[in-house]
Homo-oligomer: A and B are copies of this chain.
């Protein structure tokens, strides 16, 4: 093949490496393609593997893998590996081991539980970063920014989220109201044209929340929803849906990702400069 652009040199950072990988990944013979795919999916193992291992797992001959390294701009595998070994700085001298130790304290012990929730939290955050729908997020921010008043609603385990959202929004001088459906201190009269709803609900979806959202919709208000699945009842009712893939530990939800997303949403709305412009639907 015509490996043109013997481009000014090998990638010097992992980011560059990725770019190049993407740039080259198409129009590549079968075996080389296999290398590319496997490397993309297992980039982290490069630092700790041999050509033979990598080639085997990619299902190609070592020499093929070797060629792949050269196509990526390196003189050979060793040079490529050096890149990954150098940029290999991990926070786990203590950390991972510490988690292991905590867990070792015995299943069911409080320390072990903390370790489990910490892990669930990490996974959730990771999943959030991976699956975040930026378009939906932007829409949600726009929608809430335009609102005269944001009605925050959430019950049961979504209630703390709603409460914190309301707290943060208020702190940022965004007018909003927290609907506390549990206490019933709520009526629908407060929903006015120009307002917007921000609803949070997870399975099993609380009927009270859904009811309020329905009311909002039929009053013509836009609804931003934070929920757990794109097909949830809440999602069907909402104008814009933000999905949070929360990882459970046992029956308990870590909510870390929900927290991160919610805060970001609130801060984005609170700091948006367009916040006084007209233009409402």
Name the distance in Å between A248's Cβ and chain B's nearest Cβ. 11
Cross-interface CB contact of A117 among B113, B117, B263, cutoff 8 Å: B263
A181 CB–B CB distance under 8 Å = no
Q: Are B264 and A113 closer than 8 Å at their CB atoms?
A: yes
Bound complex: CA A64 to CA B69 (Å): 35
Closest to A157 in B: B167
CB distance from A202 to the nearest CB of B (A): 13
Complex contact B102–A129 (CB within 8 A): yes
Pick the residue among B167, B254, B263 that contacts A254 (CB under 8 A). Answer: B263
Interface residues of A in 75-108 (CB under 8 A from B): 85, 88-102, 104-105, 108
CA separation between A262 and B110, bound complex, in Å? Answer: 10
Any B CB within 8 A of the CB of A238: no
State the interface size on chain A (CB cutoff 8 A). Answer: 82
Which of the segments A29-37, A43-51, A54-62, A188-196 contacts the partner chain?
A43-51
Interchain nearest-CB distance for A279 vs B (Å): 9
A162 to B246, CA, bound (A): 20
Q: How far is the CB of A275 from chain B (nearest CB, A)?
A: 13
List the B side residues contacting A105 at CB < 8 Å. Answer: 134
A271 interface neighbour in B99, B108, B118, B268, Cβ under 8 Å: B108
Inside 8 A of A129's CB, which chain B residues have their CB? 95, 98-99, 102, 114-115, 118
Pull 30 A–B residue pairs with CB atoms less than 8 Å apart, ordered by A. Answer: A13-B100, A14-B100, A15-B104, A42-B90, A42-B93, A43-B92, A44-B88, A44-B90, A45-B90, A48-B88, A49-B85, A95-B130, A110-B264, A110-B265, A110-B268, A111-B132, A114-B128, A116-B264, A117-B261, A118-B128, A120-B260, A121-B256, A125-B256, A160-B161, A250-B280, A254-B260, A254-B263, A256-B256, A256-B259, A256-B260
Give A residues with C-beta under 8 Å from B.
Answer: 13-15, 18, 40-45, 47-49, 85, 88-102, 104-105, 108-111, 113-118, 120-122, 125-126, 128-130, 132, 134, 137-138, 140-141, 156-157, 159-161, 163-164, 167-168, 250-252, 254-257, 259-261, 263-265, 267-268, 271, 280-281
